[in-house]
Structure 1
């Protein structure tokens, strides 16, 4: 299926979006109507998350297209044992947006270094992939060390794009409790990842 220029995703607001696993299953079987329903459900949240990460309208639209195409192509890879369809889609969106930021930063760094050294250094794709996989494993390991409330709060805020008040509403907890758990969880993640404050 070739994706054409989509209608502009509307702002999703603060309500959580839930996608039934069956809908994603229909998309995996190539059901265009199911994909249209999925698009309508998720477009606002996906675009909002990407826009918050990239802060650039044109790049956000490009990455949004890439994400929705990836959802269409890889819907059969969704594993309900690992989370909800909405979380899976938002994780793809977050990863793609962060990849775009990293690519832009890396390009800027490479250009600066090339200008300073006036030497072309070959890009080592294999080492980049290994470093990325190791980083992903370390993040998963560190997330596993958090309490369930800390992990759920961090995942909702940083991988699904919810605000702190939305996280509090979803978890049915006071906002102050969520903020404290998030702060504690982020400190534990920072320490686990070996990042200096």
Structure 2
């Protein structure tokens, strides 16, 4: 009597979720289907259902990952210690330079997804409102009037989302070099040398650390 064929591995939840996130960023939410994911991973579709009840559960997990990799780190940087508005904005700008702090590809993919899905659009609107509240709070903390704080917040957020969406050819170093000018534009104040130096030091250190 022949023995049964060995079962194919199920993979881990993170493995399926990583593949789904990559597919979302590459081809949009309509491409995130169980069969293509299984083929991409070389696993059986039954392995997917070991970790997720259905496709909706996977999409919910993708939205949770998006929030974890975009809104949460942005709020954390907004809450970081700063003695001036320039220092506070340098803290925020860490998100635009460090992919581990802010997943720009996933941000754009979810914004595209929201255009066709009202529930996702509502969730995105809530995230945007939370971000705006946190950043406007920084400006108010450093003495900006309410209306000006809101306007500067919108300018900052819209500029950064636009920067991610545009095909800009800047190298990482070029982008770092532009940040002090961005900070001056968004705050209306020129950062002092020590603020620029601390910002540059932590990003140069990140790039040279093995």
TM surpasses 0.5: no
Q: TM-score, normalised by structure 1?
A: 0.29
Whose relative contact order is higher, 1 or 2, with alpha carbons under 8 Å and at least 6 apart?
1
